[in-house]
Amino acid sequence: MSAPKRNALGRGLAALIPGAPAPGAPAPTTGIRRPSDGTRTIAVEEIHPSPGQPRTRFDDARLDELAASIKTQGIIQPLIVRTRRQEDGGGYELIAGERRWRAAQRAGLHEVPAVVRDVAPTQAFEMALVENLQREDLNPLEEAAGYQRLVEEFGYTQEQLSERVGKDRSTVANALRLLRLPESVRGLLGEGRLSMGHARALLGLEAAAAMETLARKIVAGELSVRRVEELVRRARQGGQGGNAGKALAPAAAAPRAPSTSARDLAMRLTRTLGTRVEVLEVGQERGQIAIHYHSLDQLDALLERLMHS
CA distances (Å), origin 204, targets 93, 166, 201, 233, 243: 41, 27, 6, 8, 15
AA letter at 237: Q
| DSSP one-letter code for 286 | -
Give the torsion sign (CA, 170, 173, 178, 181): negative
Set 98, 126, 142, 163: catalytic member: 98
d(CA 303, CA 297): 10
d(CA 130, CA 119): 15
Q: 142 an active-site residue? A: no
d(CA 102, CA 97): 9
Helix (H, G, I), strand (E, B) or coil at 56: coil
Helix (H, G, I), strand (E, B) or coil at 203: coil
What is the phi/psi pair of residue 133, to 5°? -65, -40
**Which helix (H) or strand (E) segment is 127 a member of?**
helix 121-135
d(CA 126, CA 93): 14
**Which helix (H) or strand (E) segment is 134 a member of?**
helix 121-135
Pinpoint the alpha helices (H) of 136-259. 140-154, 158-165, 169-177, 183-190, 196-202, 208-221, 225-237, 244-248
d(CA 173, CA 132): 18
Residues belonging to the active site: 98
